[in-house]
Every structure is written in C-alpha cells, then in structure tokens.
C-alpha cells in the first residue's frame, strides 16, 4: 500500500496587497496634514511667547518712563529710560526700539475709589504716560517672523502692547524736626550755649525763629512743597507732624494745604527748644495715616526731615518704626538737612521704609529735594 504525503500549500490573500496600498495612500494624505498641524502648534506657541515678552517689555518701559518723567518732567529723558528698559527685554529675540510716536502724555482719572483709571491724551495737569511696544511691518522693529514660515501663506505676524503709568492718589505725612538745633543756621554748629548767631539781642527759645535759621529755610522749602502739591491733577491729602522732645500732630490729612502752612507758622512765631526724638515723630506720621484718618484707596507716604542726630535713648528706634510701617504699606522718605545730620542712620530708615534718602546742605538744595520727592510720589501701571 502506498502512503499518501500531505503538504501545506501556501495561500496568498488577494486583499493583502490592496490593504498595504490603502495604508500608503492614507499616510500620504494624513502626513502633510499632521505636519501642517504641528507647524501651526509651534507657530501658535511662538506667537503666545512673543506676546508675553511684548507685555513684559511694555510694562518695564512704561514703569521706567513714568518714574523718570515724574522725577524730571523731561519727556526726552523718559523716552531714554523707556528705550533702555525695552532694550533689556527683547521680543522674539530682538531688542525693542520705541519711537516718539509711541509715547503719549495724558491724564488718568477715575470716578471712585473702586473704579478703573481711564486715560485720555493731553490735559491741563497731566499725570500719566502711555507707552506702546510694537513689532509691526510699518515699525522699525518689524513684524515677528514665524519659526516655521509659509504655513497658510504667512511668513510672520504683528504684535502691539500698550501700558499706562499713572501717579496715584497719595496720603502724605510731612514729619518735621522742631528741636532746638533748628534755630541755628545751616552753616553753624548747633550747640547751646551760645545762642544762634542770627538771634537778636535778648532772644531766647520761645521767641520768633531767628532769620537765617534752619527752621526759616524749612519754611521756604515748605512753600515750594505746597506749590508742587497744588500743581497736581490728583487730590493729595497732607498731614503735618512735628517733633522735638515729643511729637505733636499739627494737622490731620487734608487737601487744604493752608493748614500745613499755618502749622509751620505756629513755630515760626514761637520757636521752642527741645531734643531730637525722631522715632516719636515717625510714629506720629504712621498713626496719622492709619485708621479712619487716611483714605483706604490712597498710597501712604511719610516724608521725615531732621537736621541733627537722634538723642540717644529717647523714643523708639526709627529704623524699627519704618520697617513696621513698610509692612503695612507705608513708604518712608528721609531728608537730612545741614552737615551735622546723621545721614547714615537716616539712610537706614529710608531703606527699612522702602523709600529713598535725600540730603540738603542749604536752603536752596532743601527746596529742590522737596520738589523732587513730590514728583516721585507713587506711580503704578493702570492699564
């Protein structure tokens, strides 16, 4: 009997080749679409990054310009400061150049304490500066090129970001030294005895302040200070605190600046003797800005002035007072007047109070310092 041999015969499916062909066609159709979607995603992310960078550049440039313009009143210097800040914050890898047309001086106002500031160009007493950052085809910066150009027929896109710096409402405490040394001239040593050189025969503390004297210099500087405040488009409230052995609140925050002049004149007519309790004076400034006396929406600023050296052991340490005030949002500026003043400690007070220190040797420089401080009162980005 012959044995049958069974062998497996390979079977070829007629549909196998057609399936492979269908996949190739599908890949050929979908791959370009996937590449387009991937390119679109990359370009979209690049656009978002560039817009964020433009926002940062606009904010930085506007802060720098606003601060410089408030301080100097010079628009050209403000433009230089803005361009320097913009150059340090490139957009899509390119340092920004801000043209003259991208600066607008104007006025920002709001209807109430919770309302938004609205900017309008121009105004009799401008308090705001608008700055624009542009990467457009019509601008020297040019438009931003796509990382993957040519998708959907476009090679780049345009970015424009704008910010507004506004000098905001301020509650300010003017804290001045009325210690006995203020009866002496700025160029003489304040040591008793003898009496001040300018004091007439028979003069003593309690009589009219000698002229010239540090106090009389302060009176003139205060007039300059009030004139600068009157120029502001904003409603800034000012309080007056004086200190010697102890502190005295002469005037709560008011927009009637004649009350400040009256509080100063009180001591011009009868100038007291006394030590230098700087810490008590600064504490008085903090208290007069707090509670119901200050406006809840206003920035709080203390301007602390002294001509001498704090009497050791008298009153709280002003550095500690300024630090505590800063934690509650109160900024402290310090002014030292005359060569005898302790500039080192007052610099520490200003640093602890998140403010700045200024020094004046004479009456004219004291006027300039007070004028400068008024011009750098807080500015914020309002748009």
Note the pLDDT tens digit of each residue in 72-84: 778 899 999 999 9
* Continuous segment of H or E residues that includes residue 3: none
User: Is 371 found in the same domain as 246?
Assistant: yes
Lowest mean per-residue pLDDT among 89-98, 122-131, 146-155, 312-321: 146-155
User: Is 121 found in the same domain as 67?
Assistant: yes
Name the band, by pLDDT with cuts 50, 70 and 90, for residue 114: low
pLDDT at 90 over 60: yes
Q: How much is the pLDDT for 374?
A: 82
User: Is 206 found in the same domain as 105?
Assistant: no
Name the band, by pLDDT with cuts 50, 70 and 90, for residue 292: confident
Lowest mean per-residue pLDDT among 5-14, 90-99, 283-292: 5-14
Range of the domain at 33: 26-167
pLDDT at 272 over 80: yes
User: Is 376 found in the same domain as 245?
Assistant: yes
Assess if residue 346 is contained within a domain.
Answer: yes
CATH number for 211: 3.40.50.410
User: Is 341 found in the same domain as 229?
Assistant: yes
Q: How much is the pLDDT for 240?
A: 97
User: Is 206 found in the same domain as 145?
Assistant: no
pLDDT at 282 over 80: yes
Q: Over range 102-128, report the average pLDDT.
A: 82
187-239 pLDDT tens trace: 888 889 999 999 999 999 999 999 999 999 999 999 988 988 887 766 789 99
Q: Over range 73-99, report the average pLDDT.
A: 92
Q: What is the distance, to the nearest Å, from the Cα of residue 185 to the centroid of all Cα atoms in its chain?
A: 35
Q: How far is CA 287 from CA 80, 241, 253, in A?
A: 40, 10, 11
pLDDT at 1 over 70: no
Q: Which of 115, 141, 167 is the last residue of a domain?
A: 167
Assess if residue 189 is contained within a domain.
Answer: yes
Q: Are strands 247-254 and 237-243 parallel, antiparallel or unpaired?
A: antiparallel
User: Is 254 found in the same domain as 219?
Assistant: yes
CA 53-55-61 angle, to 5 degrees, is: 100
Q: Over range 278-289, report the average pLDDT.
A: 96
User: Is 145 found in the same domain as 227?
Assistant: no
Please give the tally of structural domains in the chain: 2
User: Is 237 found in the same domain as 296?
Assistant: yes
User: Is 234 found in the same domain as 92?
Assistant: no
pLDDT at 274 over 90: yes
Q: How much is the pLDDT for 130?
A: 94
Q: How far is CA 137 from CA 143, 147, 154, 155, 156, in A?
A: 5, 17, 13, 12, 9
Assess if residue 333 is contained within a domain.
Answer: yes
pLDDT at 153 over 70: no
Assess if residue 355 is contained within a domain.
Answer: yes
- % residues pLDDT > 90 (the chain): 52
How far is residue 72's CA from residue 3's CA, in Å, rounded to a whole number?
115
Q: How much is the pLDDT for 112?
A: 66
Please provide the distance, in angstroms rounded to a whole number, between the alpha carbons at the two ends of the chain: 105
User: Is 187 found in the same domain as 97?
Assistant: no
Q: How far is CA 315 from CA 303, 348, 349, in A?
A: 19, 17, 15
Assess if residue 3 is contained within a domain.
Answer: no
Q: Which of 144, 167, 190 is the last residue of a domain?
A: 167
Q: What is the mean pLDDT of the chain?
A: 86
Q: Which of 142, 167, 192 is the last residue of a domain?
A: 167
User: Is 259 found in the same domain as 225?
Assistant: yes
Lowest mean per-residue pLDDT among 32-36, 49-53, 165-169: 32-36
Assess if residue 290 is contained within a domain.
Answer: yes
pLDDT at 141 over 70: yes
318-372 pLDDT tens trace: 999 999 999 988 999 999 998 888 899 999 999 999 999 999 988 889 988 988 8
pLDDT, greater one: 292 or 116: 116
Assess if residue 358 is contained within a domain.
Answer: yes
Quick one: tokens of 289? 């800005």
Lowest mean per-residue pLDDT among 79-93, 98-112, 278-292, 349-363: 98-112
Q: How far is CA 252 from CA 237, 239, 256, 286, in A?
A: 9, 5, 10, 12
How far is residue 34's CA from residue 181's CA, in Å, rounded to a whole number?
82
Q: How much is the pLDDT for 16?
A: 55
């Amino acid at each position: 009997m012959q044995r049958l041999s069974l062998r497996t015969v390979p079977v070829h499916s007629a549909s196998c080749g057609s399936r492979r062909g269908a996949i190739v066609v599908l890949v050929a159709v979908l791959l370009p679409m996937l590449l387009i979607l991937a390119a679109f995603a990359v370009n979209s992310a690049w656009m978002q990054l560039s817009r964020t960078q433009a926002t940062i550049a606009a904010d930085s440039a506007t802060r720098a310009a606003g601060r410089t313009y408030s301080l100097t009143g010079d628009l050209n210097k403000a433009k230089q400061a803005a361009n320097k800040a913009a150059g340090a914050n490139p957009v899509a890898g390119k340092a920004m150049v801000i043209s003259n047309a991208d600066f607008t001086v104007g006025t920002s106002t709001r209807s109430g304490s919770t309302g938004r500031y609205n900017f309008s160009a121009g105004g009799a007493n401008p308090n705001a500066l608008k700055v624009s950052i542009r990467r457009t085809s019509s601008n020297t910066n040019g438009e931003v090129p796509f990382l993957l150009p040519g998708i959907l027929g476009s090679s780049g896109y345009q970015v424009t970001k704008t910010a507004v710096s506004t000098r905001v409402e301020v509650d300010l405490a003017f804290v001045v030294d009325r210690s006995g040394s203020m009866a002496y001239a700025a160029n003489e040593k304040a040591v008793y005895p003898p009496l001040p050189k300018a004091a007439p025969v028979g003069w003593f503390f309690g009589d009219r302040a000698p002229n010239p004297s540090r106090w009389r210099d302060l009176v003139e500087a205060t007039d300059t200070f009030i004139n600068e405040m009157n120029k502001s488009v904003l409603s800034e409230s000012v309080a007056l605190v004086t200190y010697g052995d102890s502190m005295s609140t002469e005037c709560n925050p008011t927009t009637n600046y004649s009350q400040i002049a009256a509080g100063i004149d009180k001591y011009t007519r009868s100038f007291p003797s006394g030590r230098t309790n700087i810490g008590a004076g600064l504490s008085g400034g903090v208290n007069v800005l707090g509670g119901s006396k200050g406006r809840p929406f206003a920035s709080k600023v203390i301007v602390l002035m002294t001509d001498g050296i704090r009497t050791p052991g008298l009153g709280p340490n002003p550095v500690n007072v300024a630090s505590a005030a800063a934690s509650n949002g109160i900024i402290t500026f310090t002014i030292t007047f005359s060569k005898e003043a302790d500039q080192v400690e007052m610099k520490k007070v200003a640093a602890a109070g998140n403010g700045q220190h200024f020094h004046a040797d004479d009456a004219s420089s004291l006027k300039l310092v007070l004028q400068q401080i008024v011009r750098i009162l807080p500015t914020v980005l309002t748009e």
